[in-house]
Amino acid sequence: MQYRRIGTTRVSAIGLGAMPLSIEGRPDEARAVATVHAALDAGVTLIDTADSYHWHAGESGHNELLIARALASYPGDTSAVLVATKGGRGRPGDGSWTVNGTPAHLKRAAQDSARRLGVEAIGLYQLHKPDPAVPWAESVGALRELLDAGTIRAAGISNVTTEQIRAAHAQLGDGLVSVQNQYSPAVRDSEAELRLSTELGLTFLPWSPLGGIARSALDGPSGATSAGTAFHRVAAAHEVSPHQVALAWLLSRSPAVIPLPGASRPESIRDSAAAAELRLSSAESALLDAA
């Protein structure tokens, strides 16, 4: 496994996006725990969760509790694992997503997340999505208060624009360590945010990094999966999966990138983790950049 940094913390270059373990179509707990354990066995030391990663109404924090149980039951050393969670979104249980970025909600949510994860301080706490009904500075201000109180050790922001990144960086300083936006072979709308994150020394965490190669956990069952792309051709040349090529390509985009592929089976995260060792030639990278 190769390693990169989030703030001052050294983590694996590939993380585990844990959302598929708790939302619609989730596996049973035995397979979910086996998936987390397979990630740890493969050298993954970054797990991304959120309080809103659940399926039914009334089970907020399902994914956080699952991750805590999986870590507690792992026979090896988990002291180097960074669990990153998020607050500011909700799921009423009907498949929809809500947003709540009020400072009172975020501070309460962070305290609840820390309790579910069984930690005194959350290693990385991310504002899940800007709330259009709440001034950005107020939501970010809640992260500042959480940092000052020691409830969280580092802060991140997600689904944001360059303007919001700059404003949060000005408000949080070194307390802001990461940006998590959608970015993949098929969705490259966050090029500007990736460049700015690299410039500011912030880690860029692409969510749904396999878009265009595989369906996202947020897609419906009819979501399209591409085939025969440049990623598939490069994969055939290396005799690896297109998923590995997509993740290796993301890693090549910037030293600030740490992809967060989702997984609901041990085999999936083992395959994804292997992408950290895949080296693309300059010609292959250029081909994929243009794809």
Q: Looking at the annotation, which residues are catalytic?
A: 53
Beta bridge partners, 207, equal 182, 260
Tokens at 113, concatenated: 């997340």
**Rounded to the nearest 5°, which phi and psi values hold at 99?**
-130, 135
Neighbour count for residue 272 (Cβ, 10 Å): 28
Neighbour count for residue 291 (Cβ, 10 Å): 15
Distances (CA, A) of 59 to 36, 228, 266: 20, 40, 24
User: How far apart (Å, rounded) are the C-alpha atoms in residues 8 and 121?
Assistant: 16
User: How far apart (Å, rounded) are the C-alpha atoms in residues 209 and 195?
Assistant: 17
- 255: alpha, beta or left, given left = phi > 0 and alpha = psi -120 to 50? alpha
What is the distance in angstroms between the CA of the first residue and the CA of the last residue of the chain? 27
